[in-house]
Amino acid sequence: MALYLRRAIRLRNTALLLRSSKIQTCNVSHFIFSQNQKTCHSQKPSPLSSFDFLRDSRRGFAKGKKSKDDSGGNTIELAPDIGPTVKASAASQMDAAIVALSRELAKLRTGRASAGMLDHIIVETGGVKMQLNHLAVVSVIDSKTLSINPYDPNTIKELESAIVSSPLGLNPRVDGQRLIAAIPPLTKEHMQAMCKVVAKSSEDVKQSIRRARQKALDAIKKAGSSFPKDEAKRLEKEIDELTKRLVKAADDLCKAKEKEITQG
C-alpha cells in the first residue's frame, strides 16, 4: 500500500512538472514572437518619415538662399559699385551737349565758305523732306564760293529754292547740273547778331553740362551709406574735373566761331 502511494505521488509531481514546463515554453515563445514583431515594425520604413525628411531638406535648401557669415549673424550684402555707371552717364550727356553745340555753330554763316554750312537746310522733293547733304555733295571752290552737286540732277530746282529760303542770305545760280553759291561779306549788324547767337548757344550748352553734373551728384547722394564716403568724394572730384574740362571745350568752340565771324 505504501508502495502504491509513493508511485502515485511521483506520477503527480511529474505531471505537474511537465505542465509547468509547457506553460513556460509557451510564454517564452510568445515573448520571442512578440519581440520579433516589434523589431519588424520598427525596421519597416515609414512613408511619412521619408516625406518629412524631404520636406525638411527642401526647407533647408530654401533657407540656404541667404548666405550668413561664420558668426551666424545677418546676411551680408555688398552694395554695387555705381561709380563707373554714374561717371559714364554724366560723360555721355556732356559729350552730347558739345556735339549739339558744334552742329548749331556750323549753321551760322560767316564770311568764309564752309562745306558744312548748308547741311542743316531741309529740302522737300517728291513730297519727302530731307537734309541737303543727303541729296547733294557740297564742296568749297574757294574761300568765298560753294559748289552744290546733286545726286539727282532733277532735284536741282528744289535745292536752289531751299537754299534761297534759308536764313543764310545766299542766292545760288545754276551752272549746268550743279549750283554755285557765292558767300557775300557780312555786314556789321549781321556780325553782331551772329555773335549774340554764339553767346546764347554757349550759355545753353554750359547749362546742359551743369545739369548732367548735378544728376551725377544726386545719384551719389541717393546711394547714401551704401556707397563708401571716400569713394563718393573721389567720384565727385572726377565729375567736377570732367565738368570743367567740357565747359572749357564749349568756350573754345564759341570763341573760335566768334573769331571766324568777326574776321570774315
Exposure of 141 in the CB half-sphere (CA atoms within 13 A): 12
Domain match, 99 and 227 both: yes
Determine, yes or no, domain membership for 37: no
Query: Do 204 and 177 fall into the same domain?
Result: no
| CA trace torsion 211, 212, 214, 217 (10° rounding) | 180
What average pLDDT does the segment 35-60 reach? 44
Does residue 238 register a pLDDT over 80? Answer: yes
Query: Residues 94, 201: one domain?
Result: yes
What mean pLDDT value characterizes the chain?
76
Q: Looking at the structure, do residues 191 and 95 belong to the same domain, yes or no?
A: yes
- For residue 194, the domain's CATH number is 1.10.132.20
Q: For the chain, what is the largest distance between any 2 Cα atoms, rounded to a whole number of angstroms?
A: 173
Least confidently predicted of 6-15, 31-40, 114-123, 201-210: 31-40
- Classify residue 26: in a domain, yes or no: no
pLDDT at 260: 85
Query: Both 191 and 163 in a single domain?
Result: no
**pLDDT tens digits, 155-205:** 999 999 999 988 788 899 999 999 999 988 888 888 888 888 899 999 999
Count the neighbouring beta carbons within 10 Å of the beta carbon of residue 249: 18
Amino acid 10: pLDDT: 66
Give me the CATH number covering residue 174: 3.30.1360.40
- Selected residue with higher pLDDT from 250 and 194: 250
Which of 162, 182, 202 delimits the end of a domain? 182
192 and 178 inside one domain: no
Q: Is residue 73 part of a domain?
A: no
One domain for residues 95 and 216: yes
pLDDT value at 64 more than 70: no
- Give the pLDDT band (50/70/90) at residue 223: confident
pLDDT band for 5, please (50, 70, 90 cuts): low
Looking at the structure, tell me whether residues 193 and 105 fall in a common domain: yes
Span 213-238, average pLDDT: 87
Based on the domain organization, do 255 and 143 belong to the same domain?
Answer: no
Show the DSSP H helices in the chain as ranges: 2-43, 47-63, 83-107, 156-165, 188-223, 229-262
Instruction: Tell whether 194 and 174 lie within a shared domain.
Output: no
In this structure, the strands spanning 122-125 and 145-150 are unpaired
Least confident of 45-54, 96-105, 155-164, 210-219: 45-54
**How large is the average pLDDT for residues 239-263?**
92
Per the domain annotation, does 57 fall within a domain?
A: no
Q: Which of 132, 164, 182 is the last residue of a domain?
A: 182
Domain shared by 98 and 134, yes or no: no
**Residue 73 predicted with pLDDT over 60:** no
Judge if 103 and 200 occupy the same domain.
yes
Q: From the CB of residue 228, how many other CB atoms can be counted at a distance below 10 Å?
A: 13
Q: What is the total count of domains within the chain? A: 2
- Partner residues linked to 124 by β-bridges: 129
Question: How far is the CA of 57 from the CAs of 13, 51, 63, 64, 143, in angstroms?
Answer: 66, 10, 10, 10, 84
Does a structural domain hold residue 24? no
Share of the chain above pLDDT 90, in %: 40
**Is 29 inside any structural domain?**
no
**Full residue range of the structural domain in which residue 192 is found:** 82-109+187-263
Q: What is the pLDDT of residue 120?
A: 81
